[in-house]
Structure 1
Amino acid sequence: MTEPSDTAPPIQEATLWSDELWTARVIKNEDDDGWAVAMTRQGDPEPALVGPWTMGRDKKNPKPLDAPAFHTLVKTASEVLRRHEQQLHAQLNKSVSVGAGSERIRVSLQIVPDEDNPHAMLRAHDESGSELAELRVKPDFRLSAASAEAWIESGFEKPR
């Protein structure tokens, strides 16, 4: 007995391909007479990637999508999303290591972009990874080697 599937069957049409994760749709390029392809991840409100698409032999209609092109588009769109996630992570997470006597302390700042209550968590860890201090700060706190050293020297008091 087979279980009913929650996923839609794959679509493999000339201008529309999809699998359980991605949909490629060939669309008219609004900027000129050519065509574009939009790659949208299932559940996302907008495409992860929109790029030019090749004209067919008649120079009027788009070249049909096929399996190799779809797989290349999936790989490219996935890479775009991965880079975007890495950039967002880098914007929200910072860390510096500073010397404190004979040992180094790593101070990290993790911004929490909550719409109602944005804040950041400032944390200090010793070389073994043990947490020395944790403090909630404003999301615009500027973490630098100097601000980390000042926080350590203050005994981990709340920065002004």
Structure 2
Amino acid sequence: MSDEINQDSDSKTQEPRLWRDKGWTARVIKNEDDEGWAVAMIKDDEPEPALVGPWTMGRDKKNPKPLDANAFGTLVKTASEVIRRHEQQLHAILHKSLMVSTDTADFKISLDIVPDDDDPYAMLSAHDADNTQLAKVRVAPTFKLTKASATTWIENEFRKPD
């Protein structure tokens, strides 16, 4: 029985209010905020929609316009872009780096935050111009990586910051 369920979830669905293909499901839903309709785009195995947006009314001005191949393709592209932007934003928040030049060398200092639910932390690391790792220490996830904090860390011979 479970094989039948898996096959069903992998197959295409092309109904007026429900399309499933390419790892995505588009579902036309009643817009709770007004008289209109909305479409929700859900990536397979995700609990929440990646995108919810207004959907066009049909010719009768009561029912939604049916989904079609062109609309579904556009929705997949848009929802994929939303996810990509979200991932880029999260990466930018969790991974920071900067270059610090001293009288003796240039250093790339990086801070990588690990957002663990129970024990979040960050790793502060230093690399030289050849990308050889010179130091790596665990710091609080609230550590602020700035030119000043990086310079101080270098001047303190990469000892763990307070």
Q: Which range, TM-score by smaller chain?
A: over 0.9
C-alpha separation in 1, matches of 2:55 and 2:32: 13
Matching of residues 58-77 of structure 1 within 5 Å: 58-77=60-79
TM-score normalised per structure 1: 0.95
The offset of 1:115, in angstroms, is 1.0
Per the alignment, in what secondary structure is the counterpart of residue 24 of structure 1?
strand
Offset at residue 103 of structure 1 (A):
2.5
Matched, 1:79 2:87: no
Give secondary structure in 2 for the equivalent of 1:74.
helix
Two-structure CA RMSD over aligned residues (Å): 1.3
Q: C-alpha separation between the residues in 2 aligned to 1:115 and 1:9?
A: 36
Please give the secondary structure, in 1, of the residue aligned with 2:26: strand
Residue 146 of structure 2 corresponds to 144
Residue among 40, 46, 56 paired with 1:54: 56
Question: 2 CA distance for matches of 1:144 and 1:28?
Answer: 48
Structure 1: tracts of 5 or more residues without a match:
none
Unaligned regions of 5+ residues in structure 2, if any?
none
Distance in 1 (alpha carbons) for counterparts of 2:65 and 2:103: 66
Instruction: Provide runs of 4+ in structure 1 moved above 2 Å.
Output: 4-8
Q: TM-score if structure 2 supplies the norm length?
A: 0.94
Higher helix share: 2
- CA drift of 1:100 comes to 1.8
Which amino acid letter does the alignment assign opposite residue 56 of structure 1?
G
CA distance in 1, matches of 2:51, 2:93: 22
Partner of 1:118: 120
- How far apart are 1:104 and its partner, in Å? 1.3
What secondary structure does 1:85 align onto?
helix
- What is the DSSP-based 3-state SS (H/G/I as helix, E as strand, rest coil) of the residue aligned with 1:150? helix
Deviations 1:45-76 (A, max 9, x none): 01000000000000000000000000000000
C-alpha distance in structure 2 between counterparts of 1:69 and 1:105, whole Å: 49
Pick from 20, 24, 35: which aligns with 1:18? 20
Paired-residue identity, %: 63
Give the aligned partner of residue 27 of structure 1.
29
- For 2:24 and 2:61, the matched residues in 1 are separated by 27
C-alpha distance in structure 1 between counterparts of 2:100 and 2:153, whole Å? 11
State the match for 1:40 in structure 2: 42
